[in-house]
Amino acid sequence: MAEQVWIAGVGMTEFARHTDRGVPDLAAEAVREALADAGLERRHVEAAFFGNTTQGALQGQYMIGGQIALRGMGFERIPVFNVENACATGATALHLAADQVRAGSVDIALAVGSEKMNIADRDRAMAVFEGAYDVSDPAAMKAALAALGGETDNSHAGRRSVFMDIYAAMARAHMNRFGTTQRQIAAVAAKNHRHSVHNEKAQHRKEFSVEEILSARALSFPLTVPMCAPITDGAAAVVVCGERGLRRLAARGRAVRVLASVVGTGVTHSPDAWDQHISRLLAERAYDRAGVGPEDIDVAELHDATAFGEIQQAECLGLCAPGTGGEAAERGETSLGGRLPVNPSGGLESKGHPLGATGLAQVYELVGQLRGEAGARQVSGARIAIAENGGGFHSGEEAVAAITVLGA
């Protein structure tokens, strides 16, 4: 019989521009906090999964990043696995750690993601995103974006990652299909910036009105700068355990159950086949494994690298009907105090997006919510939570997605 899996501890650095810190140092802070949160020591960890996406390109550390970072903290003998899965790297590291525990291979495992993305050469930092689609066939990506959102003139737009153009094309396709408006996308961004004011670990903690967001510097239409995630440094860590590991915890009542963890890729489908989107297919699998449905979710952390991303993922996960994600945000349904709060952390737009750490930071937030420890951003009575973490681009959608369902 497969082991039940629990999250025993979580840790996270402040997400920011850490000009004087590197990947190992940031990882060490998050891991120390996660171990302390679990009431465990380094010697209890039997396997580690280290997530990072940019260290090779930006620091030249193409291999053994996890071994270097964790050995520097004193982890010895245990297996350390390096994980790269685009922006879904953090959730993938957690998935692999949970699988090790569920299989009975180890009692306690560690998942950690750490990124140092802010470097002096801003163009090099932006260039890392170019490796998250099929670099052997850039014409195919250009054709896919045109098929999604039509041709558009971006000559006026400032420096940005290619993924802002990708999300913009997805947004225009949604607007054409369902009538979603730029103002509704801005409402999502305004909501998330408002939430971030209460998150002491968020990169940006400034509230913006819908009007301020609409009048901000334009990127690829319909996106403006406050609708998009910044370049971020930071780390997050999660301690995963099974029943035997759980018995080692002094405060077992604070452990949160992993009801489901799924990772997958998409299927070939036409751009307008929204019911075949990678996240929708994975959500069905996740709900089935967790024994819950979207109607049971109390709080969600969704991958909003842009504000439109939250709209898309809320619909794909069944948290609202197709085409209604923007309306739900405008009505306040996804705000704290609303029907189903989404991204109470502030989301990637304001909390920040250190790629390999993002999925674990979502879990950090949700564990706090399910424990009732989220302070001013606490969702009342939260018992079931869901996180969606996706990344890359292939065949008109994310190349990979990961969904995690947690229960108090």
Catalytic positions: 87, 353
User: Which residues touch 7 (CB under 8 Å, ≥6 apart)?
Assistant: 238, 239, 240, 255, 256, 257, 258, 363, 367, 406
Pick left, alpha or beta for residue 241 (phi over 0 → left; psi -120 to 50 → alpha; otherwise beta).
Answer: beta
Counting Cβ atoms within 10 Å, is residue 246 exposed (0-12), middle (13-18) or buried (19+)? middle
Contact 363, 240 (CB under 8 A): no
Task: Choose among 398, 381, 382, 379: nearest CA to 390.
Answer: 398
What CA–CA distance (Å, rounded) separates 44 from 241? 10
Phi, psi dihedrals of residue 152, rounded to the nearest 5°: -145, 150
User: Which residues touch 246 (CB under 8 Å, ≥6 apart)?
Assistant: 6, 8, 252, 255
